[in-house]
Chains A and B, each alone.
Chain A
Amino acid sequence: MKRIIYREWRIPPTRYWSLLGILAVVIGIGALAFAHMEHAGHWVTGMSNSVVWGMPHVFAVFLIISASGALNIASIGTVFRKPIYKPLGRLSGLLAAGLLMGGLLVLVLDLGRPERLVVAMTTYNFRSIFAWNIFLYSGFMAIVIAYLWSMADRKGEPFSRPIGVLATAWRLALTTGTGAIFGFIVARQAFDAAILAPMFVVMSFAYGLAIFMLVLMFGFAADARPIGDRLMRRLKNLLGIFILGVLYFTLVYFLTKVYGAKNHDLVGWFLLDGGLYTFLFWVVWVLIGALVPLGIIYHPVLSQERSWIIGACTLVIIGGLATMYVIIIGSQAYPLQMFPGQTVLESGFYDGVQGMPSPYAPTIPEILLGLGGVGVAMLVVAVGVRVLQFLPESLADEVLPPDEEKLTDGVTARSAA
């Protein structure tokens, strides 16, 4: 094991600037989409009084929970004392900050009155989990920046572990809070479930890691820096466990729902005759987003191939977006159960006439706004790794620290201190 050396990302300027150019275009188009939505009003989106949160929220929630998931890698290194993860800590923190920024931007720019952000930052109703989340998000940003400092600056090293512990606790609170935004909604059958909070935590593990792995592999490949098989094996196995966790929570969520007779229709709709939502659930959420990646990750041959691992990570991300779509939009599309035992024959406001779900089709501006958020996240990372020393020169097997901390390491560290 050698000393880990961090270096700025040194890909050729032409390549770097064209990458930034592409990101700038994506962000610019997102900004135009926002301007259009803000100027015309939300009627240009597919969102309505029935499906009030749409595509922007799918992207925003996905990015926000991925942000806390991306920070996991740093936590595993500092909090859970796995030396092999330590060299990845800086990139993990940077990616977390970038993803959160992108997600929050999308969330804020979708507001009906985005210019009143200052109202949201100064006027609070502490009964609202949403208000709590505002603190969780801004606190997360501050803690991640402190964490990055403690990992990168020699003077910060003694604080690295305490800040890391705080960051880990905070990120758990953040994803729990994000899940609770949905889990506390008693009005809507599909949301009214506290399990959504831990479910979001586990989903954040999987999506955040998948994004992290893609960014890591892209960044290293572009700059011809090596990643050893030892690290890849650990990362992909970890991803496998997280995907299994998502599947487990998915199963338990539907089991808890189906236990109550009043929810039979709901579960039946989601799993059997929900049209697009059923397709997204089975094909994208479960098959493409979980089973296929698991197959790749645990396949004796394919799992050794970097390109297959990249494929698995990409599928997890696609599955994650579909999961958000089904959870956020599907749950709203299912009609509110206001009159149990009665069928709505006519309604002046789409109260699930004849049990019909509310229609929703995303429009181009809202998708572009969401993609703009992704662009912002990637831009933060691209600029960060270029100007500061976030990436290790090498993650080759012989350079990396051991997988596990030796018992004596802790003792010597303590005696040295």
Chain B
Amino acid sequence: MGKTTEMNDRPEPTDPNRRQFLAAAAGVSATVVAPGVILQSVAAAPRSEPVTSEVRWGLLIDTAKCADGCSECVKACDRENGLDLQAMPEGADDALWDNQKVVWIRKVKLQDNQTGRITNLPMMCQHCEHPPCVDVCPTGASFKRADGIVMVDRHTCIGCRYCMMACPYKARSFVHLPIEGQLTRVPRGKGCVESCNLCVHRRDYGEESTACADACAEAGHGAILFGDLADPESTIRKRLSEMASRQIREDLALNTGVRYSGI
């Protein structure tokens, strides 16, 4: 697939090969037999070629559409990734446990100190281009996949939690107790750090969206848009070129993959 990408010229977005290629890379599914030649498409085929940086996954959050009191995205994330498997252990302190349970996405409600304007938004891993969590990880377990997804390789994570110290978004959680009954698609266990991975299993099986974005759309808000930030023709890129958006903590120059409008 590496060779395919070289054959495609960035300045010519109308090249049909490139369109097809991007469709393939986007995981809409394809089998590549020879470089540059795409033969067939089958829905939801598992990925067989390494992910490339031709794609950069990201989210656009339209805070104007994010409803006060709605937490459909959070519930959907918990179901999708098996976060609802965690139960407060016996003898634990309620308030402390609330701070120890794993959270990948959360709702935040803000008020401007000067104007009093209220904003609602979901917060999750911002999938930085230059992630501080990756820089600090001693074993390299915290890493950025070629397609822009920042995630943890649990096989090498030693649970030192330095990435949690370094994350400016408080996006990561440490698994504080043993877990049982894991979902096949989302392996998780005690003693490692984890965070939003943009539903990476969905990416690899060629599904279109993330659980949170689907749930938000289903609830009729449509505040979360998932897509490929590297593709000028993608819906998310078109939307981003039309509306003003910001990154949280722009001052750190991390070039986040999650953008917010209306903050």
Q: Do chains A and B touch in the complex (CB under 8 A)?
A: yes
Give A contacts to B, CB under 8 Å: 40-43, 46-50, 52-53, 111-114, 116-117, 119-120, 123-125, 127-131, 134, 181, 184-188, 191, 332, 336, 338-339, 341-351, 358-359
B158 part of interface (Cβ distance < 8 Å): yes
User: Contact: A52 with B174, CB < 8 Å?
Assistant: yes
Given the complex, which residues of B lie within 8 Å of A338, measured CB to CB? 123, 168-170, 248-249
| Contact partner, A111, options B134, B159, B164, Cβ 8 Å | B159
Indicate whether A339 sits within 8 Å of B110 (C-beta atoms), given known contacts A49-B170, A116-B158. Answer: yes
What separation, in Å, do the CA atoms of A184 and B135 have in the docked complex? 10
User: Contact: A187 with B166, CB < 8 Å?
Assistant: yes
| Contact partner, B132, options A120, A186, A332, A349, Cβ 8 Å | A186
Residues of B118-137 whose CB lies within 8 A of A: 118-119, 123, 132, 134-137
Tell me the minimal C-beta distance from B193 to chain A in angstroms: 7
User: Contact: B191 with A113, CB < 8 Å?
Assistant: yes
Which of B47-55, B95-103, B201-209 faces chain A?
Answer: B95-103
| Contact partner, B170, options A40, A43, A111, A336, Cβ 8 Å | A336
Tell me the minimal C-beta distance from A38 to chain B in angstroms: 8
Indicate whether A186 sits within 8 Å of B252 (C-beta atoms), given known contacts A43-B97, A112-B157. Answer: yes
- Top 7 A-B pairs, shortest CB-CB distance: A112-B159, A112-B191, A348-B106, A41-B177, A187-B168, A48-B99, A125-B140
Tell me the minimal C-beta distance from A402 to chain B in angstroms: 47
Given the complex, which residues of B lie within 8 Å of A50, measured CB to CB? 99, 170
User: Contact: A43 with B159, CB < 8 Å?
Assistant: no
User: Contact: A348 with B113, CB < 8 Å?
Assistant: no
Tell me the minimal C-beta distance from A209 to chain B in angstroms: 29
User: Contact: B167 with A187, CB < 8 Å?
Assistant: yes
Given the complex, which residues of B lie within 8 Å of A359, measured CB to CB? 95-96, 99
| Contact partner, A49, options B71, B95, B168, B172, Cβ 8 Å | B172
| Contact partner, A112, options B71, B107, B156, B161, Cβ 8 Å | B161
Q: Which of A48, A129, A184 has the most CB of B within 10 A?
A: A48
What separation, in Å, do the CA atoms of A349 and B102 have in the docked complex? 9
Given the complex, which residues of B lie within 8 Å of A341, measured CB to CB? 112-114
Closest A residue to B116 using CB positions? A343
Indicate whether A351 sits within 8 Å of B123 (C-beta atoms), given known contacts A43-B89, A46-B96, A338-B248. Answer: yes
B165 part of interface (Cβ distance < 8 Å): yes
Given the complex, which residues of A lie within 8 Å of B162, measured CB to CB? 128, 130, 181
B192 part of interface (Cβ distance < 8 Å): yes
Indicate whether A346 sits within 8 Å of B107 (C-beta atoms), given known contacts A112-B160, A112-B190, A187-B165. Answer: yes
User: Contact: A120 with B139, CB < 8 Å?
Assistant: yes
Name the interface size band of chain B: 35 or more
What separation, in Å, do the CA atoms of A58 and B50 have in the docked complex? 43
User: Contact: B164 with A125, CB < 8 Å?
Assistant: no
Closest A residue to B99 using CB positions? A48
- Of the A-B pairs whose beta carbons lie under 8 Å apart in the complex, a sample of 18, sorted by A's number, is A41-B176, A49-B103, A49-B174, A112-B157, A112-B191, A114-B159, A124-B139, A127-B135, A128-B136, A128-B162, A129-B136, A187-B167, A187-B169, A338-B249, A343-B113, A348-B74, A348-B106, A351-B108
What separation, in Å, do the CA atoms of A48 and B100 have in the docked complex? 5
Given the complex, which residues of A lie within 8 Å of B191, measured CB to CB? 41-42, 111-113
User: Contact: A128 with B172, CB < 8 Å?
Assistant: no
What separation, in Å, do the CA atoms of A188 and B167 have in the docked complex? 8
User: Contact: A348 with B103, CB < 8 Å?
Assistant: yes
What separation, in Å, do the CA atoms of A112 and B107 have in the docked complex? 27
Give B contacts to A, CB under 8 Å: 71, 74, 89, 92, 95-103, 106-114, 118-119, 123, 132, 134-140, 156-162, 164-170, 172-178, 190-193, 248-249, 252, 263
Known: A186-B168, A348-B103. 6 other contacts (CB 8 A): A52-B174, A113-B158, A128-B137, A130-B138, A185-B165, A343-B113
User: Contact: A49 with B164, CB < 8 Å?
Assistant: yes
What separation, in Å, do the CA atoms of A167 and B166 have in the docked complex? 30
Indicate whether A339 sits within 8 Å of B164 (C-beta atoms), given known contacts A41-B191, A344-B109, A345-B111. Answer: no
User: Contact: B109 with A131, CB < 8 Å?
Assistant: no
What separation, in Å, do the CA atoms of A151 and B98 have in the docked complex? 54
Given the complex, which residues of A lie within 8 Å of B249, measured CB to CB? 338
| Contact partner, B174, options A40, A112, A124, A358, Cβ 8 Å | A112
User: Contact: B138 with A40, CB < 8 Å?
Assistant: no
What separation, in Å, do the CA atoms of A349 and B106 have in the docked complex? 6
Given the complex, which residues of B lie within 8 Å of A186, measured CB to CB? 132, 166, 168, 252
What separation, in Å, do the CA atoms of A119 and B138 have in the docked complex? 10
| Contact partner, A185, options B106, B159, B166, Cβ 8 Å | B166
What separation, in Å, do the CA atoms of A119 and B140 have in the docked complex? 10
What separation, in Å, do the CA atoms of A344 and B19 have in the docked complex? 43
What separation, in Å, do the CA atoms of A345 and B110 have in the docked complex? 5
User: Contact: B161 with A53, CB < 8 Å?
Assistant: yes
Given the complex, which residues of A lie within 8 Å of B252, measured CB to CB? 186-187
What separation, in Å, do the CA atoms of A184 and B252 have in the docked complex? 13
Indicate whether A342 sits within 8 Å of B158 (C-beta atoms), given known contacts A41-B178, A52-B174. Answer: no
User: Contact: A342 with B110, CB < 8 Å?
Assistant: yes
What separation, in Å, do the CA atoms of A336 and B165 have in the docked complex? 10
| Contact partner, A124, options B108, B113, B138, Cβ 8 Å | B138
Given the complex, which residues of B lie within 8 Å of A332, measured CB to CB? 165
Given the complex, which residues of A lie within 8 Å of B138, measured CB to CB? 120, 124-125, 128, 130-131, 134
What separation, in Å, do the CA atoms of A123 and B140 have in the docked complex? 7
User: Contact: B110 with A343, CB < 8 Å?
Assistant: yes
Tell me the minimal C-beta distance from B216 to chain A in angstroms: 15
Given the complex, which residues of B lie within 8 Å of A129, measured CB to CB? 136
Indicate whether A187 sits within 8 Å of B108 (C-beta atoms), given known contacts A52-B161, A53-B165, A119-B158. Answer: no
What separation, in Å, do the CA atoms of A336 and B158 have in the docked complex? 25
Indicate whether A347 sits within 8 Å of B165 (C-beta atoms), given known contacts A49-B103, A128-B136, A186-B252. Answer: no
Closest B residue to A346 using CB positions? B109
Tell me the minimal C-beta distance from B66 to chain A in angstroms: 13
Given the complex, which residues of A lie within 8 Å of B140, measured CB to CB? 123-125
User: Contact: B175 with A112, CB < 8 Å?
Assistant: yes
Tell me the minimal C-beta distance from A118 to chain B in angstroms: 10
Given the complex, which residues of A lie within 8 Å of B193, measured CB to CB? 112
User: Contact: B96 with A336, CB < 8 Å?
Assistant: no
